[in-house]
Amino acid sequence: MIKRFFTTLSLICLALGAYAEAKYMTIEMTNGSLISFLLADNPVITYKSENLVVNNNEKTTYSFEAVKNYHFTESDESGVDDLSANELRIVWVDDETIEVQNAQSNAIIAITAINGVVASETKTDAEGKAKVKIPNKAGVYVITVGKQSFKIIRKK
């Protein structure tokens, strides 16, 4: 069995926009259900024993096989979240690869080590998609897609 290389993924988000808009991380399950977490609450994602664990004041655990993908959305706090086909999505293809979806075409995707060294850089295609390999070396990395950044911690 392949050991999960990612043990912790914590999110960095920019300041919330005006007009009562908030940013959410939404987990899409294989059964079609959606679970959203408010980024202002600083949820932390870890992979443990074939499970995706989200610590958001209370521990929530999902079987890795039951998680289809997770992505980031913006919606009005007073309304119901509507997922749009145009919202940025990051889909884990396997332990070493992510796929960015719904980014702007030719958007730069960079993976930068905490010491500032760019480990990988690529551009999205005309449809806003790109597959990116995550470095095998243990460390802290920042994934930047356009103006959004996400921090991951990779332990072996």
Q: What is the pLDDT of residues 114-133, one digit of tens each?
A: 899 999 999 999 999 999 99
Number of domains in the chain: 1
Cβ atoms within 10 Å, residue 120 = 14
Name the CA radius of gyration of the chain, rounded: 15
What's the pTM?
A: 0.49
Tell me, yes or no, whether 141 lies in a domain.
yes
Q: Which residues constitute the domain of residue 123?
A: 6-154
Mean pLDDT per 10-residue interval, the chain, length 156 residues: 38 35 75 78 75 65 81 56 64 81 91 92 93 88 87 76
Tell me, yes or no, whether 134 lies in a domain.
yes
Predicted local confidence at residue 156, as pLDDT: 65
Residue 149 burial by Cβ neighbours in a 10 Å radius (0-12, 13-18, 19+) = middle
Tell me, yes or no, whether 144 lies in a domain.
yes
Predicted local confidence at residue 21, as pLDDT: 54
Cβ atoms within 10 Å, residue 8 = 17
Predicted local confidence at residue 126, as pLDDT: 93
The pair of structure tokens assigned to 7 is: 């043990």
Predicted local confidence at residue 36, as pLDDT: 79
Q: Shortest CA distance to 76 belongs to which of 38, 104, 33?
A: 38
> C-alpha distances in angstroms, 121 versus 38, 66, 107?
28, 30, 10
Tell me, yes or no, whether 1 lies in a domain.
no
